[in-house]
Amino acid sequence: MATTQRRLVLKQRPSGMPDADCFAMETTDLGAPESGQALIQVEHLSIDAFIRTALDEGSFHATVPIGGTVTALGVGRVLASASDALAPGDAVFGPLGAQSHLLMPAAALRKLDATDVPPRAYLGALGLTTGLTAWAGMVRVGEVREGNTVVVSAAAGAVGSVACEVARLRGARVIGIAGGPEKVRYLQDDLGCVAGIDYKNDDVGARLSELAADGIDVFFDNVGGEILDLVLDRMATGARIVICGAISQYHDMSAVRGPALYLRLAERNASMRGFTVTHHAGAFAEAEAELGGWLRGGDLHLRETIVEGIERFPEALNMLFTGGHIGKLLLKP
Ligand code: NAP
């Protein structure tokens, strides 16, 4: 019996925020898996900022070709398998793409242990682009230590939420920056930040000066632009600035605004270091063990926002840039 696949393809490259004209929905009937393949039903897709840059020609992440299925990491369920590695009912993680079902080589999928956490946790708290990214950036790049004053930008988003919690659970005092009073409440009430700064309504510089009078030891930056300069001006001696991302800049990668106050690095004996999560693959087992322990022990409080319907994928992607979600943004096809 054929399985109907609904998938989102790229029709034209966006300029700025992608609109509905950039995409088209296609429907295909999938047959049975061939040798080595599995038929997967997609359960959740991770809505990630790299998907936006992958829509551009010459992207750092593999560019989506015109007519190609839009890139996305996801978790799904095996419906049928022609591989010894997977059986019907298994939960899997992989580069599933913006679609409802797919045939994929079993070797390209990771079989998940979803006995005490839902499979979608492997996109969120334990996910490559969320939990593992936050852990690698905060622990390995930021070298967060007990008693440090840590600032996180886009703190109420996916990576930011886990970055706040990793720092807090390792004994730091965490200040989160996010847009709007509801997000500030989430930072303080759910994530245990000592304070949240609402960059849309507060004077960020004045609030940082007040909350981190002795200087900031670690800045985990997801946003770039003006916020990076405001923090650079308030770093402690020996501070570490972690460049995780710069979401304020992704709509025009040919004109990224760099930090004007970079000489503060010299004045404060500070460092600014970027990373991509895959540079830290050697630490994934350690990261997953620590995050998994916290998650199962009830110490991680990453909220989820789940958008339903594969046709709403473009809308979900744009939410990353308009800030319409709290915590991990997922799509259920
Ligand atoms: P997310 O934080 O869940 O969503 C993005 C958030 O950014 C939004 O919720 C929005 O929150 C904020 N934002 C958007 N435009 C902004 C602007 N102009 N100024 C200030 N804030 C803005 O997304 P995510 O997937 O967790 O990604 C967060 C960052 O991590 C991104 O920069 C991404 O590229 C990076 N990342 C890096 C790696 C790596 O390997 N280095 C891996 C994964 C992700 P507000 O409502 O607060 O504005």
pLDDT tens digits for range 167-187: 999 999 999 999 999 999 999
Mutate to test the pocket of ligand 1, among 320, 322, 330 (most ligand atoms within 8 A of CB): 320
CA distances 230 to 140, 223, 233, 265, 273, Å, are 24, 12, 5, 13, 17
* Separation between Cα atoms, residue 53 and residue 230, nearest integer Å: 26
- Closest residue by Cα to residue 220 from 295, 146, 272, 290: 272
User: Is any atom of ligand 1 closer than 6 Å to the C-beta of 183?
Assistant: yes
pLDDT tens digits for range 292-320: 999 999 999 999 999 999 999 999 999 99
User: How many angstroms separate the alpha carbon of residue 41 from the centre of ligand 1?
Assistant: 28
User: Is any atom of ligand 1 closer than 6 Å to the C-beta of 179?
Assistant: yes
Residue 254 burial (10 A CB sphere; 0-12, 13-18, 19+): exposed
Residues of the chain with pLDDT under 70: 1
Mutate to test the pocket of ligand 1, among 247, 303, 307 (most ligand atoms within 8 A of CB): 247
Continuous segment of H or E residues that includes residue 313: helix 313-322
User: Is any atom of ligand 1 closer than 6 Å to the C-beta of 162?
Assistant: no
- Closest residue by Cα to residue 103 from 170, 16, 197, 32: 32
- Closest residue by Cα to residue 305 from 2, 46, 71: 46
User: How many angstroms separate the alpha carbon of residue 157 from the centre of ligand 1?
Assistant: 6
Q: What is the pLDDT of residue 125?
A: 98
User: Is any atom of ligand 1 closer than 6 Å to the C-beta of 46?
Assistant: no
CA distances 60 to 50, 221, 284, Å, are 9, 19, 22
Nearest CA to ligand 1 atom 11: 323
Q: What is the pLDDT of residue 276?
A: 97
User: Is any atom of ligand 1 closer than 6 Å to the C-beta of 249?
Assistant: no
User: Contact, 124 vs 131, CB < 8 A?
Assistant: yes
pLDDT tens digits for range 186-235: 999 999 999 999 999 999 999 999 999 999 999 999 999 999 999 999 99
* Separation between Cα atoms, residue 255 and residue 250, nearest integer Å: 9
pTM: 0.97
User: How many angstroms separate the alpha carbon of residue 195 from the centre of ligand 1?
Assistant: 19
Nearest CA to ligand 1 atom 34: 245
Q: What is the CA angle 296-301-303, rounded to 5?
A: 120
Nearest CA to ligand 1 atom 15: 321
Q: Which atom of ligand 1 is nearest to the CA of 328?
A: 3
* Separation between Cα atoms, residue 97 and residue 42, nearest integer Å: 9
User: How many angstroms separate the alpha carbon of residue 49 from the centre of ligand 1?
Assistant: 7
User: Is any atom of ligand 1 closer than 6 Å to the C-beta of 55?
Assistant: no
Q: Which atom of ligand 1 is nearest to the CA of 327?
A: 3
User: How many angstroms separate the alpha carbon of residue 221 from the centre of ligand 1?
Assistant: 9
